[in-house]
């Protein structure tokens, strides 16, 4: 039996400015992301995510993780975050149909 991981995809829709941050989060950007389906349709409510890759921007399709995995994705592990962007999506291939974000 093969195991696979379903990626959490999202589109960056904005930025968040934090005037105060917990120690360990200095220099980490926060972005507002909208979770999406592989076809690009929105699902659920927007989420605030730490940008672990430091290169996502508005309109970018990203892969994000949540819970404990989000905290360990950052340079300082175990900081208090609920979601973190861990990759930029170049292409989505769903059911044999190729699409580009």
Q: Where are the domains of the chain?
A: 11-18+28-59+77-86
Checking if the pLDDT of 9 tops 80, the result is: yes
Average pLDDT for residues 78-84, to the nearest whole number?
90
- Stretch 17-36: mean pLDDT: 92
Q: What pLDDT is recorded for position 39?
A: 87
Distances (CA, A) of 93 to 8, 17, 31, 64, 96: 14, 34, 25, 17, 6
Query: What is residue 75's predicted lDDT score, i.e. its pLDDT?
Result: 81
Contact criterion met (CB below 8 Å) for 83 and 33: yes
For residue 5, report the phi and psi dihedrals to the nearest 5 degrees: -115, 130
Mean pLDDT for the chain overall = 85
Is the pLDDT at 2 greater than 50? The verdict is no
Reduce the secondary structure of 34-64 to three states and give it as a string. EEECCCCCECCCCEEEEECCCCCCCCCEEEE
């Amino acid at each position: 039996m093969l195991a696979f991981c379903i990626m959490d995809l999202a589109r960056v829709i904005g930025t968040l400015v934090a005037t105060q941050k917990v120690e360990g989060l200095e220099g980490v950007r926060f972005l507002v992301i909208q979770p999406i389906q592989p076809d690009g349709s929105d699902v659920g409510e927007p989420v605030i995510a730490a940008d672990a890759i430091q290169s996502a921007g508005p309109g970018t399709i990203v892969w994000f993780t949540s819970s404990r995995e989000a905290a360990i994705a950052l340079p300082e592990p175990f900081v208090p975050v609920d979601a973190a962007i861990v990759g930029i999506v170049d292409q989505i291939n769903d059911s044999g149909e190729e699409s580009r974000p």
